Amino acid sequence: ISTIRAELEMERADPAYTRKLEAGRKRRQKAQEQYADDFEQSVFDFLAFHSTHEELARRLAKAIANHAVPVGSGTVARTKRISIERRAEAATIAWLRHSTTAYDHMHIPRIKGMRREVRRKLAETSRKLLNRYRRGESIDPETCLLLKGLSGSRKD
């Protein structure tokens, strides 16, 4: 064990080892930045807001990506099991659930399937909300749930 530890210390003392570690960090950081950009664009594409709400869609896509993309966030955006388009959709619906509804404060009975049912209904409501922006409907900034969600104030 002491021989292996000594060899490991020598390896780590070598400047080439440090350069290799730094190159790996830079490569991962570059890949992370590219993924963040791709994910943000996928969210924007999923939103598909009418051109009158394009600025809001860009802000929303950025907020959702900033929340969902970081390594270790534990969000659906980090899985590789589904396409990036499906990840963007799921992350958007989740963000809307937490930012525009009282979901975080709801008392949901511990009955099998109840949480899933509540989430399904909230997702349906979120999709209806998104459709208003996709159609280009006029939205009052004072009551806009998306703007409230972006500012951090939640509907309780």
pLDDT in tens, 54-111: 999 999 999 999 999 988 887 888 888 999 999 999 999 999 999 988 888 888 989 9
Q: What percent of the chain has pLDDT over 70?
A: 97
The pLDDT > 90 percentage for the chain reads 74
Give the pLDDT band (50/70/90) at residue 141: confident
Confidence of residue 154 (pLDDT cuts 50, 70, 90): very low
Instruction: Tell me the mean pLDDT in the region 109-134.
Output: 94
Q: Is 58 exposed, middle or buried (0-12, 13-18, 19+ CB in 10 A)?
A: middle
Of 38, 105, 47, 45, the closest CA to residue 68 belongs to 38
Nearest-angstrom CA–CA distance, 80 and 27: 19
In angstroms, rounded to a whole number, what is the distance separating the alpha carbons of residues 120 and 137? 24
pLDDT value at residue 156: 35
Phi, psi angles (nearest 5°) of residue 140: -75, 120
Nearest to 95, CA basis, from 57, 126, 59: 126
Please, how many CA atoms are within 13 Å of residue 133, restricted to the half-sphere of its CB? 22
Nearest to 77 by CA among 99, 104, 86, 62: 86
Mean pLDDT of the chain, nearest integer? 91
71 versus 121: which is more confidently predicted?
121
C-alpha–C-alpha distance, residues 61 and 133, integer Å: 14
Stretch 29-43: mean pLDDT, rounded?
A: 95
Show the tokens assigned to 61: 């896509």
**Would you say residue 131 has pLDDT above 60?**
yes
